[in-house]
Structure 1
Amino acid sequence: MNENFESIQLDKELLSDYVQRLGHGVVKQMFDLYIQQVALYINDIESSLLCDNSQLWQEHCHKMKGAAGSVGLKSLHIRLKEMEKTTMGTSGKAQQLAELKIHNKQAIAAFDDWLSGL
């Protein structure tokens, strides 16, 4: 993975501060928790789409946005901020969700690459 891609994906300043203050092991634990929780967040977003509930969509996108931001997933945080406020219909949201799943995998890969490079 190239440096530019990681820079787009990650808030390296925040993450470097975490590593300095908390240590590599704690940052790894934080990210492992994110990986566990994100499966639930994506499920919740998908459920809100299936029952066509815009309020739940917004709430679940908001939760995942906060989680992504707290572990330094900068571009994913931005995407979720846009999704949270969307006024698109079901098909537009379905497309956003499909893209979110891909983006999340890319962000996780960027984080793993960054962390293993420390």
Structure 2
Amino acid sequence: MHMELLDLEIAGQYKDVLGIEVFSETVDLYVEQSQLYIDKLKQAVAEQNYANWQESCHILKSASGNTGLKQVFNQVKELEYSKDDFAVLSVALEKLESLNKESIQAIKKWLTQG
């Protein structure tokens, strides 16, 4: 399951360079920040604001990529410049939020294993 959700090469490199403690703190910061940007995406949907949608997607994409959350990164990358109807984006955002939670659990479990 980890292999599907995570880019263990990137996560492993960060863990090796930063040390497990600092990388764990980075993951904790991601957890906080990702929820903020998911909330901003919800607001962008409510306001039907593509510019805010793209800005929040871009930040979340970068943060998830730098944390090794491969599937979140890929999903946000697909959504970033979408001009789909906001009803469609709302459904995609629900899936993204679920994927993000699952990916966070996976990276935390991976960190405790080594």
The TM-score range, normalised by the shorter chain, is over 0.9
Match of 1:90?
A: 86
TM-score normalised to structure 2 length:
0.96
Match of 1:31 among 15, 18, 27: 27
Corresponding residue number in structure 2 for 1:70: 66
Matched residues, percent identical? Answer: 32
Which residue number corresponds to residue 13 of structure 1? 9
Paired amino acid for 1:12: L
Counterparts of 2:7 and 2:90 in 1: how far apart (Å)?
A: 27
CA RMSD of aligned residues (A): 0.8
Give the TM-score of the pair, scaled to structure 1: 0.93
CA deviations on 1:12-65 (whole Å, 9 max, x unpaired) are: 111111121111101100001001111110111111110001111111111101
> Equivalent residue of 2:77, what SS?
helix
The alpha carbon displacement at 1:11 in A equals 1.0
What's the offset of the Cα at 1:9?
A: 0.8
Q: 2:38 aligns to what? A: 42
- Size of the aligned set, in residue pairs, is 114
Q: How far does residue 115 in structure 1 lie from its aligned partner after superposition?
A: 0.6
Instruction: For residue 83 of structure 2, give the secondary structure of its aligned residue in structure 1.
Output: coil
Please tell me the residue identity of whatever aligns with 1:25.
Answer: E
1:59-94 deviations in whole A, cap 9, x for unaligned?
Answer: 111110111001010110000001102121011011
The alpha carbon displacement at 1:111 in A equals 0.4
- Stretches of structure 2 lacking an aligned partner (at least 5 in a row): none
The AA in structure 1 aligned to 2:53 is: W
Alignment partner of 1:102 out of 98, 109, 112:
98
Unpaired runs of at least 5, structure 1: none
